[in-house]
């Protein structure tokens, strides 16, 4: 009897844990807290990982639960950081950035890059020393808290930038400098203050001893092949996002029988379509079929607007908006067929 009760209790506990399972979890550290001594001290590592990173993670899990976004990937959250607000932006960034940071450091770090990465560093920055100087200088002059990044941009080239707070090049809030980070250095005081106090420069010089270029190289190779790079490039296309917004906010209500939004906003739809046809198209999507489909979108939006101005009946508006929606999805389809 006692065993049955225990079994029941443990089943309930187990189920309870299951039901409250959180979408994101702390990545395992591949080394002990003291492994990066003397460059990063054990106490800083322990607090940084088990307190700071854990807090970003807890807040991220709470934020996605509150926003009912538990099925979103970390990448999706970051691409939409601006619209999703500060709790998602800061904590998705905090989780992603620290996960990358732990993963590129090692007590047995390979101190110099090799292969294609070494060649690209030399051709882009002149030398590894020049790259380090550039990153240290951007890190030193980052006011307040932030990160400095080596990343693969949407043209598959290496680039350096810094970002405030927990932002990173994946996020839509970075208006330039978009791409996939392959090396990030945390320049928040919590990353160095216990050992280096206010001497950020000493921390920046020391950290290169534990950055493992073999691991950075793996990130580089993965980023070059990653289809996510094309997703980021598409995410930089603001005019397409602006059109999409008006389309979503008029088409979906119409599907539910509400024609007020499209009758109020058909002129705005024309404006957004025209803006899309004159805005620069990101490199990978600058194809003739996509340009033609955008022109089709402008004329489709204009005929819809004429119908609205004539106060045409709902069935006419519905046919015209449905056709415009199909044209928009044709553009989306053409974008996903693009070979990077």
Chain residues binding Mn ion by CB under 5 A are: 186, 188, 191
Closest distance between Mn ion and the C-beta of residue 190, in Å?
Answer: 5
Quick one: tokens of 51? 């307190």
Of 191 and 216, CB closest to Mn ion? 191
Closest distance between Mn ion and the C-beta of residue 166, in Å?
Answer: 8
Q: Give me the sign of the Cα torsion angle 67, 70, 72, 75.
A: positive
Question: Which DSSP letter does residue 27 get?
Answer: P
CA 277/CA 300 separation, integer angstroms: 13
Of 139 and 317, CB closest to Mn ion? 139
Closest distance between Mn ion and the C-beta of residue 170, in Å?
Answer: 17
Is the CB of residue 153 less than 8 Å from the CB of residue 177? yes
CA 151/CA 138 separation, integer angstroms: 14
Quick one: tokens of 255? 């599907």
CA 29/CA 169 separation, integer angstroms: 24
Query: What are the phi and psi torsion angles at 57 (to 5°)?
Result: -65, -50
Closest distance between Mn ion and the C-beta of residue 101, in Å?
Answer: 7
CA 300/CA 298 separation, integer angstroms: 5
Of 78 and 191, CB closest to Mn ion? 191
Closest distance between Mn ion and the C-beta of residue 186, in Å?
Answer: 4
Closest distance between Mn ion and the C-beta of residue 14, in Å?
Answer: 34
Is the CB of residue 236 less than 8 Å from the CB of residue 282? yes
Is the CB of residue 49 less than 8 Å from the CB of residue 217? no
Quick one: tokens of 159? 């680039």
The gap from C-alpha 126 to its chain's centroid, in whole angstroms, comes to: 29
Of 188 and 196, CB closest to Mn ion? 188
Closest distance between Mn ion and the C-beta of residue 37, in Å?
Answer: 18
Query: What are the phi and psi torsion angles at 149 (to 5°)?
Result: -125, 140
To which H or E segment does residue 73 belong? none
Closest distance between Mn ion and the C-beta of residue 139, in Å?
Answer: 13
Q: Give me the sign of the Cα torsion angle 191, 194, 196, 200.
A: positive
Of 45 and 216, CB closest to Mn ion? 45
Of 55 and 319, CB closest to Mn ion? 55
Of 78 and 324, CB closest to Mn ion? 78
Which of 156, 285, 167, 321 lies closest to 229 in space, CA to CA?
156
Closest distance between Mn ion and the C-beta of residue 28, in Å?
Answer: 17
Of 191 and 273, CB closest to Mn ion? 191
Q: Which residue is nearest to Mn ion (CB)?
A: 186
Of 149 and 188, CB closest to Mn ion? 188
- E-strand ranges in the chain read 146-153, 158-164, 179-186
CA 178/CA 171 separation, integer angstroms: 7
CA 66/CA 62 separation, integer angstroms: 6
């Amino acid at each position: 009897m006692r065993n049955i009760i225990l079994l029941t209790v443990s089943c309930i506990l187990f189920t309870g844990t299951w039901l409250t399972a959180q979408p994101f979890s702390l990545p395992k550290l591949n080394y002990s807290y003291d492994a990066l001594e003397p460059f990063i001290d054990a106490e800083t590592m322990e607090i940084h990982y088990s307190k700071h990173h854990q807090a970003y993670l807890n807040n991220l899990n709470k934020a996605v639960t509150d926003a009912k976004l538990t099925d979103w990937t970390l990448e999706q959250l970051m691409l939409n950081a601006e619209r999703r607000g500060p709790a998602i932006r800061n904590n998705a960034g905090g989780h992603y950035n620290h996960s990358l940071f732990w993963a590129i450091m090692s007590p047995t770090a390979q101190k110099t890059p090799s292969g294609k990465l070494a060649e690209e560093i030399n051709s882009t920055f002149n030398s590894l020393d020049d790259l380090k100087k550039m990153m240290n200088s951007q890190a030193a002059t980052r006011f307040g808290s932030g990160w400095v990044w080596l990343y693969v941009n949407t043209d598959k080239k290496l680039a350096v930038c810094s970002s405030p707070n927990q932002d990173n090049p994946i996020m839509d809030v970075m208006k330039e400098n978009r791409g996939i980070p392959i090396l990030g250095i945390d320049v928040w005081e919590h990353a160095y203050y216990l050992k280096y106090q206010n001497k950020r420069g000493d921390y920046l010089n020391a950290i290169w001893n534990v950055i493992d270029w073999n691991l950075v190289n793996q990130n580089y190779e993965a980023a070059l092949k990653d289809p996510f790079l094309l997703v980021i490039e598409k995410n930089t296309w603001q005019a397409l996002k602006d059109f999409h917004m008006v389309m979503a906010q008029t088409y979906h209500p119409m599907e539910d029988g509400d024609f007020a939004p499209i009758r109020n906003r058909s002129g705005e739809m024309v404006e957004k379509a025209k803006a899309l046809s004159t805005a620069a198209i990101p490199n990978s999507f600058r194809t003739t079929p996509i340009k033609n489909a955008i022109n089709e979108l402008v004329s489709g939006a204009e005929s819809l607007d004429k119908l609205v101005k004539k106060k045409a009946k709902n069935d006419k508006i519905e046919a015209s908006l449905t056709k415009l929606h199909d044209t928009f999805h044709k553009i989306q389809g053409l974008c996903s067929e693009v070979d990077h």
